[in-house]
Amino acid sequence: MNSNPLHTPIDYLKGVGPNRADLLRKELGIHTYQDLLNFFPYRYIDKTHYYKINEVQRNSAEIQVVGKIVHLKTVAQKRGKRLVADFVDETGKMELVWFRGHKWIKESIKLNEPYVIFGKVNWYNGVFSMPHPEMELLKEHEKQMRVTMQPMYSSTETLSKRGITNRLVTKMIQQLFLENKKGFLETLPDYLRKELKLISKSEALFNIHFPQSTEKLAKAQFRLKFEELFYIQLQLLIKNMLRKQKIKGFVFDQVGTYFNDFYKNHLPFDLTNAQKRVIKEIRNDMGSGAQMNRLLQGDVGSGKTIVALMTALLAKDNEFQACLMAPTEILATQHFNGLSELCEKTDLQLALLTGSSKTSERKIIHERLENGELDILIGTHALLEDKVQFKNLGLAIIDEQHRFGVAQRAKLWKKNVIPPHILVMTATPIPRTLAMSLYGDLDISVIDELPPGRKPVKTVHRYDNNRLKVFAFIRDEIKKGRQVYVVYPLIQESETMDYKDLMDGYESIARDFPQPEFQISIVHGQMKPADKDYEMNRFANGETQIMVATTVIEVGVNVPNASVMIIESAERFGLSQLHQLRGRVGRGAEQSFCILMTGHKLSNDSKTRLETMTQTNDGFQIAEVDLKLRGPGDLMGTQQSGVLNLKIADIVKDNDILKTARFYAMQLLKNDPKLQMEENRVVNYTYQQIAKNKTLWNYIS
């Protein structure tokens, strides 16, 4: 057995036994005393008041009543039978009803003995009734730990069927407290508790399960939320610190001719202050001797590509190669074309490698990479193949990193004895709170201003019955020589339905915009890649004025002449998707427009999304609203939400606690980076426990 009593398997707790233990493991993931202790209630019911039967209201609230069962009968009904008991007190009578478990209930009920019953009340045929009440003999009830507010625990259908009720879980946790008389190990240092006026660990755990008052409950919640977020931040900060100490990086101390020549002579426009600040942060990282691991966030069109190129030039000045990896061929090709254009007047050597590259081309690229002739390689996952060997890779830039797994990123690292500097770019703004918790081990740079001369896209919401006006507006824009996107939603469940929506839309547009006056491209997920590219290129070259598409075009198509984005059934899109789609227009000097088309029936969330889109172009503001609507798990996709498997804190609602926790974790590491001071002994011990058990809550206590 482990010396820590809380690591005892749950089977050994009095009243559990092997069968129940098995259910708790399977259904709730409760393996040890520790897990049960950290199985927190999701709400509380006030049980301070005992009602008389004549005080009961028809509001189906949950109430408790003291009385006696004077009569039991079985009543036939359409399906099976129900068991009905007459329950009385000195003021009146009501019925208790059971639809299952009759035999066991009949055997266990004691007639004419005082009971405390608790449950929801229904009004039916002139009588109050309570189906499947919780029941306890009054004399037993009086012996229990007195709790003013009753905890309610999450359950599953299987548990309810197998008799593991809320009351039983409550009893198990009471038993755990009775067995653990000594209390629980403190996990936060005294000075921190004093400064933040936090209650002790033991008091917090007791009051989260059995709150003695609403005030004590609030204190318990704050203490446990702070602790959870504090240790997550501590883990991330230590990880970052260790990485910088352990993983040596190439020292790029030369800012040489390539960087300076490009900056002075070939920059197509002046850098914004935000771009200058970010380049400076990157230069500091690359000159520090530790491996850079930086996340570069910038809204669509904020000029991340120039920053990426300037970073690659620093690598070249220090005699290293760079690579840029994008999630799709379209995006990789676009990066290649954009960078080639910028580097036209320099002697930098660039190449593009994707799944479609011919064998003969690949061979040449492989050779030029290995002998160091190539300076920058741009491509898709093809860059990860074992055959792709660099002479000396010093910088890896990854675009839209949430589309690449951790294993894929690690492959890039292994392309060199010393891992290259890593710059991760994303146009999906991540709210600060989430970035702090998900990417807390990356350093974060933000480009938060658009290049001068860019006009913000005007966004409006129109209902389907305004379609004719919208079509008239499109005609005017096309007359001015502009191009238009019309995007239809993609719903995973039904590709046939999406296709039908798209084709119906295409036909109605073709009717209103007839050939030869108008030319229309169509792009959707069921087309062959070559056909898709052909249609995309026709639009990009201005051969077609209207592009009808599903969300295939969300990332990466750059057509400066396109000035109108129409999003059909806009209520079906998430906020970040709407924002990404809007970013496809507004890339030229002309005023651009985004029109959100919907029907009249809209949910509250849809209304919030549409209002947010029409009110702001700021991707970070939009991401904050998105986080509130969808929660962190959905926002990050499944592969990353696991990081935030929080037990009690909520990253959105507890944003302020998160900031406080990060601040104190940083202070602590600044004063005591190795956690060696006497006053931080409990932190060191707790941190070691987390590291050993891999998950945060296995240890806390």
Q: Is residue 495 part of a domain?
A: yes
| Calpha distance 370→448 (Å, rounded) | 38
200 & 305 share domain: no
- In the listed set 119, 145, 171, which residue is the last one of a domain according to the structure? 145
| Helix, strand, coil abundance in the chain, percent, nearest 5 | 45, 20, 35
- In the listed set 401, 419, 447, which residue is the last one of a domain according to the structure? 447
- Find the domain containing 334 and state its range: 257-447
236 & 268 share domain: no
DSSP H helices, 541-645, are 575-582, 604-615, 619-636, 638-641
| Calpha distance 448→542 (Å, rounded) | 31
Sheet strand arrangement including 321-325:
350-353, 376-379, 321-325, 393-399, 421-426, 293-298, 443-447
71 & 30 share domain: no
pLDDT of 319 reads: 94
The count of domains in the chain is 5
Domain CATH for 78: 2.40.50.140
385 & 423 share domain: yes
| Calpha distance 649→666 (Å, rounded) | 19
Q: Is residue 642 part of a domain?
A: no
pLDDT of 441 reads: 66
405 & 535 share domain: no
| Calpha distance 280→284 (Å, rounded) | 6
522 & 571 share domain: yes
162 & 215 share domain: no
Both tokens of 53, joined, read 């039967």
158 & 115 share domain: no
pLDDT of 221 reads: 94
For residue 646, CA distances in Å to 10, 33, 216, 641, 649 come to 22, 19, 22, 10, 6
| Calpha distance 131→52 (Å, rounded) | 18
DSSP line for 491-545: -TT-HHHHHHHHHHHHHHHHHHS-TTT--EEEE-TTS-HHHHHHHHHHHHTTS-S
**What residues have CB less than 8 Å from 478, skipping those under 6 apart?**
484, 513, 518, 545, 546
Q: Is residue 621 part of a domain?
A: no
The DSSP output letter for 347 is: -
Q: Is residue 644 part of a domain?
A: no
Q: Is residue 156 part of a domain?
A: yes
Q: Is residue 53 part of a domain?
A: yes
For residue 74, CA distances in Å to 77, 78, 86, 105 come to 10, 13, 12, 12
Q: What is the pTM of this model?
A: 0.65
User: Residue 344, exposed/middle/buried by CB under 10 A (0-12, 13-18, 19+)?
Assistant: exposed
| Calpha distance 95→136 (Å, rounded) | 16
pLDDT of 643 reads: 45
pLDDT of 698 reads: 45
For residue 381, CA distances in Å to 328, 403, 412, 639, 640 come to 8, 11, 10, 18, 20
**What residues have CB less than 8 Å from 5, skipping those under 6 apart?**
33, 179, 180
Q: Is residue 546 within 8 Å of residue 514, measured between CB atoms?
A: no
| Calpha distance 283→255 (Å, rounded) | 9
| Calpha distance 306→320 (Å, rounded) | 18
- In the listed set 160, 182, 204, which residue is the last one of a domain according to the structure? 182
| Calpha distance 393→395 (Å, rounded) | 6
Sheet strand arrangement including 81-89:
122-124, 127-131, 92-98, 81-89, 62-76, 114-120, 134-137
592 & 462 share domain: yes
pLDDT of 699 reads: 43
159 & 267 share domain: no
Q: Is residue 31 within 8 Å of residue 25, measured between CB atoms?
A: yes
User: Residue 214, exposed/middle/buried by CB under 10 A (0-12, 13-18, 19+)?
Assistant: exposed
Q: Is residue 425 within 8 Å of residue 335, measured between CB atoms?
A: no
pLDDT per 10-residue tile (average), the chain, 701 residues = 76 92 93 92 82 83 90 90 94 93 89 93 88 91 73 88 89 92 88 96 94 88 94 87 82 90 89 94 92 85 89 95 89 89 92 92 94 95 89 90 62 77 84 69 81 84 93 95 89 57 86 92 82 86 91 65 92 87 83 94 90 89 80 46 65 83 94 95 92 58 35
| Calpha distance 202→210 (Å, rounded) | 12
Q: Is residue 467 part of a domain?
A: yes
Cα 37 to chain centroid, rounded: 26
| Calpha distance 126→103 (Å, rounded) | 28
Domain CATH for 469: 3.40.50.300
Domain CATH for 13: 1.10.150
Both tokens of 552, joined, read 């295939």
**What residues have CB less than 8 Å from 515, skipping those under 6 apart?**
none
466 & 556 share domain: yes
Q: Is residue 494 within 8 Å of residue 573, measured between CB atoms?
A: no
535 & 582 share domain: yes
Q: Is residue 316 part of a domain?
A: yes
Both tokens of 481, joined, read 């020589």
